[in-house]
């Protein structure tokens, strides 16, 4: 098989890249090791930055998001039994969309297939070869189990943290930066209308909690739990009572609605960056290159931004014969990546209770939260990063 751009992974990064390349008249083939149903059901992120929502609209994928998603103009920070609202348009002129990653993936797959795009499901890439030559190749196992080869001009690895793309870069050219946190998130989906109009990020002595949503009738909630937690240790009753305790307001003026839990999963928390994000004709994008802890909702957005940059670089390469965009990709992407790494690390450190924290550390967190509540520039800094910095 031969194509112009071989894309490994049909997550949001790989699919959006394939879609953008199609709009620019550049051919691609997407290899995905899972089946379509699995890709469309995997529960993950829910917040889309202002600029990424715009990019979805501009590429013809905004209609369902604008009809069924929610525009959110703020979030609530809840701590010491009080709530404080961060007003995004007032502080930044921007907003975010609540629109699930699963829905973005569903729309992208449907659109690629309607446009005649090639997504090979149940086709696992096993090796990337010849990236220092002009004819790189991806070896993959076809759905029938045979070994096949995809030849191309460029390979883009959008194959997530556990893919083969990152490990295909020669060790001597790569640096990695890593931080593992001593806690995880237990995430649930529940058939109950959200108990809030905007997301609530709660800091509590018992640990962090987040109230998000998927629709008028489905809530998405997260609890900080110790690393290595098994969902079996968390009965539905235990989850609801722990959430209620962490969200409680001192005046008792708020009540958490409960309902049947339809999905439970654990997300480990880590920060991770690979530098550079390119070697020869192999590019890394999304979780293949970097991981952020989910506080601040940057993972999906970073993945989408990476491929927006790459698609423009590839467009220039084929429309104008100019490789400047591709040559600048790694440095340009990494500037945004490190900003998001810092923001996610900072939000995580501010809102979670570290088992090793001292009473002094706890006071530091509370003091900073009070500062955000009292001081407009401090709140603006949070809002700028959360809604997505246009200039980075
Ligand atoms: P992925 O979505 O991981 O897609 C990679 C794709 O590559 C997968 O479909 C995989 O099957 C495929 N693949 C892997 N190896 C191969 C191979 N060898 N051959 C072929 N295909 C391969 N972010 C937030 O902002 N908020 C959240 O609440 C949140 N929750 C998360 C929960 C979990 C469990 C995880 C893992 C991530 C979460 N994230 C969250 C992060 C966010 O979902 C990711 O940043 C986003 O999915 C990145 O998209 P991607 O396309 O780069 O990678
Ligand atoms: C969601 C996930 C996040 O990590 C976050 O910060 C906000 C919302 C969500 O899944 O809805």
Taking the whole predicted model, whether its pTM rises above 0.95 is answered as yes
User: Mean of the per-residue pLDDT values for the chain?
Assistant: 97
Is 225 a residue whose pLDDT tops 80? yes
User: For every residue of 248-309, which 3-state class applies, written as one string?
Assistant: CCCCCCCCCCCCCEEEEEEEEEEEEEEECCEECCEEECHHHCEECCCCCCCHHHHHHHHHHH
**Which of the four CATH numbers 3.90.79.10, 3.30.9.10, 3.90.950.10, 3.40.47.10 does domain 179-269+354-387 have?**
3.30.9.10
Residue range(s) occupied by CATH 3.30.9.10 in the chain? 179-269+354-387
Burial grade of 377 (CB within 10 A; 0-12, 13-18, 19 or more): exposed
Confirm or reject: Cβ of 101 under 6 Å from ligand 1.
Answer: yes
Q: Read off φ and ψ for residue 201, nearest 5 degrees.
A: -105, 115
Confirm or reject: Cβ of 388 under 6 Å from ligand 1.
Answer: no
Active site residue 294: yes
User: What's the order of all strands across the beta sheet hosting 70-72?
Assistant: 47-48, 96-98, 70-72
**Bond prior to 276 in cis (omega within 30° of 0):** yes
C-alpha closest to that of 212 among 100, 346, 299: 100
The answer to whether the CB of 278 falls within 8 A of the CB of 289 is no
Q: What is the pLDDT of residues 236-276, one digit of tens each?
A: 999 999 999 999 999 999 999 999 999 999 999 999 999 99
The answer to whether the CB of 256 falls within 8 A of the CB of 202 is no
Burial grade of 369 (CB within 10 A; 0-12, 13-18, 19 or more): buried
Q: What is the pLDDT of residues 82-94, one digit of tens each?
A: 999 999 999 999 9
Q: Identify the CATH number of the domain defined by range 5-72+97-177+271-347.
A: 3.50.50.60
Beta-carbon contacts of 125 under 8 Å, excluding residues fewer than 6 positions away, are: 8, 31, 33, 138, 139, 140, 159, 163, 164
Alpha-carbon span 301 to 287, nearest angstrom: 11
Tell me which residue has its CA closest to atom 11 in ligand 2. 46
| pLDDT number for residue 390 | 80
Active site residue 72: yes
Residue range(s) occupied by CATH 3.50.50.60 in the chain? 5-72+97-177+271-347
Q: What is the pLDDT of residues 333-379, one digit of tens each?
A: 999 999 999 999 999 999 999 999 999 999 999 999 999 999 999 99
Active site residue 201: yes
- Active-site residue, selected from the candidate residues 50, 72, 204, 290: 72
CA–centroid distance, 143 to ligand 2, in Å, is: 34
Q: Angle at the Cα of 166 (from 162 to 169), degrees rounded to 5?
A: 150
Is 391 a residue whose pLDDT tops 80? no
**Ligand 2 shell residues, CB under 6 Å:** 45-47, 199, 210, 212, 220, 294-297
Active site residue 386: yes
Tell me which residue has its CA closest to atom 1 in ligand 2. 46
Beta-carbon contacts of 101 under 8 Å, excluding residues fewer than 6 positions away, are: 12, 42, 44, 45, 46, 300
Buried/exposed 171-197: b ≥16 CB within 10 Å, e otherwise = eeeeeeeeeebebbbbbbbbebebbbe
């Amino acid at each position: 098989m031969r194509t112009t751009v071989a894309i490994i992974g049909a997550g949001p990064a790989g699919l959006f890249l394939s879609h953008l390349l199609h709009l620019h008249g550049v051919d691609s083939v997407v290899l995905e090791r899972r089946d379509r149903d699995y890709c469309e059901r995997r529960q993950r992120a829910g917040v889309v930055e202002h600029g990424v929502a715009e990019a979805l609209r501009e590429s013809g994928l905004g209609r369902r998001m604008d009809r069924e998603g929610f525009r959110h103009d703020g979030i609530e920070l809840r701590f010491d039994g009080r709530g404080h609202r961060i007003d995004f348009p007032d502080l930044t002129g921007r907003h975010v969309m609540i629109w699930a990653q699963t829905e973005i993936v569903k729309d992208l797959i449907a659109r690629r297939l309607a446009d005649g795009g090639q997504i090979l499901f149940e086709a696992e890439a096993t090796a990337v070869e010849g990236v220092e030559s002009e004819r790189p190749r991806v070896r993959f196992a076809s759905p029938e189990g045979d070994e096949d080869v995809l030849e191309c001009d460029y390979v883009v690895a959008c194959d997530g943290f556990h893919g083969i793309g990152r490990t295909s870069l020669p060790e001597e050219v790569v640096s990695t930066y890593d931080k593992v946190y001593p806690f995880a998130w237990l995430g649930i989906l529940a058939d109950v209308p959200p108990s809030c109009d905007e997301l609530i990020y709660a800091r509590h002595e018992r640990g962090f909690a987040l109230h998000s949503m998927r629709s008028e009738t489905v809530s998405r909630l997260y609890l900080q739990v110790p690393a290595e937690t098994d969902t079996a240790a968390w009965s539905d009753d235990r989850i609801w009572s722990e959430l209620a305790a962490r969200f409680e307001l001192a005046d008792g003026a708020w009540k958490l609605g409960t309902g049947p839990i339809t999905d439970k999963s654990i997300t480990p928390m880590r920060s991770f960056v690979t530098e550079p994000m390119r070697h020869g004709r192999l590019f890394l994008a999304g979780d293949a290159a970097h991981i952020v802890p989910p506080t601040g909702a940057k993972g999906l957005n970073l993945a989408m931004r990476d491929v927006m940059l790459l698609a423009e670089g590839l467009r220039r390469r084929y429309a104008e014969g100019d490789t400047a965009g591709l040559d600048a990709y790694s440095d340009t992407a990494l500037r945004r990546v490190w900003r998001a790494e810092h923001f996610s690390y900072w939000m995580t450190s501010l809102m979670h209770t570290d088992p090793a924290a001292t009473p002094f550390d706890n006071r530091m967190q509370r003091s900073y939260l009070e500062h955000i509540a009292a001081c407009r520039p401090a709140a603006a800094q949070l809002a700028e990063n959360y809604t997505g910095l246009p200039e980075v």
